[in-house]
Structure 1
């Protein structure tokens, strides 16, 4: 009788282990899905912002075409400076943003 109870206990442990493994696998898959989604959203936002800046630049260039060439050159130089500043600022905070996204994605809430 004790051997039957022992086998039943072992079977219960094996079943519990399988269930736990399924839960862990499911959590990993969900985490990877969330990370991919966050990356896709970040890339989409960056693309939208980049296209917005390009549209602004093109608008300013078209407005200044009637002006002398020096104004166009000045505008291009200013735009290049702003782009460099934005790239620098982005490089400074990109690590923090990635960390924040990873923390958000990996935090489990009940």
Structure 2
């Protein structure tokens, strides 16, 4: 599953609830959003805060790994481009010498 979908799903589950329709119905009846309701409950439940914190740490760890991998890929591409630029310069010099 792509990282963005994991993050999106995590926040929907944490702050909207499993059933979107249930959340909308609850909002209309109570005039409170499911996120506010969850936030109030979390203030009184430290284990919920710890669980949320752990999940967020895992998401950010995955993000940093993903960006680290992209950084290495970019460095590799940059090295290849540099090599090709040097090769082109050598070939241009050889062409001039041949003329």
TM-score by length of 2: 0.53
Q: How many residue pairs end up in the alignment?
A: 58
Structure number with greater CO (CA < 8 Å, separation at least 6) is: 1
Question: Which portions of structure 1, spanning 4 or more consecutive aligned residues, are displaced by more than 2 angstroms?
Answer: none
1:52 maps to: 92
Separation in structure 1 between the aligned mates of residue 52 and residue 95 of structure 2, nearest angstrom? 64
- What 5-or-longer segments of structure 1 have no aligned partner? 60-110
Separation in structure 2 between the aligned mates of residue 20 and residue 35 of structure 1, nearest angstrom? 22
1:92 maps to: none
Question: Which of the pair has more CA radius of gyration?
Answer: 1
TM-score by length of 1: 0.48
- For the aligned residue pairs, the C-alpha RMSD in angstroms reads 2.0
Separation in structure 1 between the aligned mates of residue 90 and residue 69 of structure 2, nearest angstrom? 31
